[in-house]
Amino acid sequence: KLATLLHDAGKGRLSDHHPIGAKLFKAYTQKIGLSPEDIELGSKLVLYHNRLSQTAQKEDIYSPLIVAQFTALFPSKLELDMLLLLTYADTTGVGSNIYNEFTARLFKGLHKNALDFLDNREFLNETHKRLERIEKLKSSARFKELPKILQTKIINIESNIPFIRYKTAKIIEIATEAKEIKNYKYKLANKNFLTIEIIKKSRINMGYLLSKLRNLNLANMDIIKLFDDKKYFKIDFNQKVEKDLLQEIGAVIEEAFLPDTVTQTQKPQIAKEDIIINCTHGIQYAQMKLTTKDQKGLLAHVMNVFEKLDIDIVSAKLFTRKDRTDDLFLVEKNGNFCDNEEFIKEQLV
């Protein structure tokens, strides 16, 4: 409670308020006779009170390296639980639109991954987690009801993303719907925030779709290669839209499948130093970070460039604060990406 009350006590000074707040917390709690253990824990929570929210919104919370670095700061369940509570109190206090179903899912996801990492250091290994999810799939009654050929296709999906991020029921739902798709199918959900799900075999102009939706705040996007040349797209926005907009969004999605659809976007201003490419991020995926001025159509531009270069994005996470954006892309490792880092940067700027 004291950490929650005093976590922003260091604000209003020229220096970073986190270490100042931690010092003030320590001085105050020593005066009122808190135990040394509680003082140490409380001052750490104040010092790092933004760490969970920043990591969850700006980093890949399924990366073993990211989770290991995060857990190194909070190496116990007690610390992780208290940090989650403090993060909830802090973000809900900032404004009603900051803590929502989407950010809650990110915060709880990082918290869960950190706890799992404490219990089993191999848990977040991509291969290990994939195999664990496949075993759960095989034991599922719903999975056993599927045709054998579809079971095999699900297990042989190359991407680790569905096995790492999605629950068993969701994987089965996606695969079952994909089996019946001839061209494309999409669904819109708008309960607490807008989510677009697309399963397609036909070509889609994602640059066009994203450019048309550029006035909405996109938060996350997953792109998964399924089977039979079909792909699954899940696009999350961090806001709910008015009901009358849903029909317009549906029309834009359908336009994106038209063969003569042309993307018209203004090229955003990006500097080479805004782009960091890491091809050692994971076994299957490379990572690209883009930290630059927030500009409408930024993601549409990236998608257009990558599509022209035949580069497959599997996930995009966008975090915007004030006039800056921190975008994180997971990209399939192949010769088109990791062997052409400088050329890719030149095409983006």
Q: Report the number of distinct structural domains present in the chain.
A: 2
162-198: b (≥16 Cβ within 10 Å) or e: bbbbbebeebbebbebbbebeebebeeebeebbbbbb
Q: What is the structure's pLDDT at 198?
A: 96
DSSP strand pairing (285-293 vs 313-321): unpaired
Tell me the percentage of the chain whose pLDDT exceeds 70: 96
Residue 33: inside a domain: yes
Of 223, 230, 224, nearest to 209 by C-alpha is 223
Residue ending a domain, among 34, 49, 64, is: 49
User: What tokens does 75 get?
Assistant: 């190496």
Q: What is the mean pLDDT of residues 244-259?
A: 93
Residue 265: inside a domain: no
pLDDT in tens, 226-239: 999 999 999 999 88
pLDDT in tens, 57-76: 888 888 877 888 899 889 89
Residue ending a domain, among 49, 67, 82, is: 49
Residue 333: inside a domain: yes
pLDDT in tens, 272-286: 999 999 988 877 788
- 117-126, 136-145, 296-305, 324-333: range with highest mean pLDDT: 136-145
For residues 278 and 329, the answer to whether their CB atoms sit within 8 Å is no
**202: amino acid identity, one letter:** S
- Checking if the pLDDT of 248 tops 80, the result is yes
Residue 207: inside a domain: no
Residue 293: inside a domain: yes
For residues 232 and 178, the answer to whether their CB atoms sit within 8 Å is yes
pLDDT in tens, 81-97: 999 999 999 988 876 67
Residue 244: inside a domain: no
Provide the mean pLDDT of the chain: 88
Contacts of residue 325, Cβ cutoff 8 Å, sequence gap at least 6: 290, 291, 292, 293, 294, 295, 298, 318, 319
Domain extent for 287: 272-348
For residues 332 and 278, the answer to whether their CB atoms sit within 8 Å is no
Residue 341: inside a domain: yes
What CATH number does the domain containing 280 carry? 3.30.70.260
Residue 213: inside a domain: no
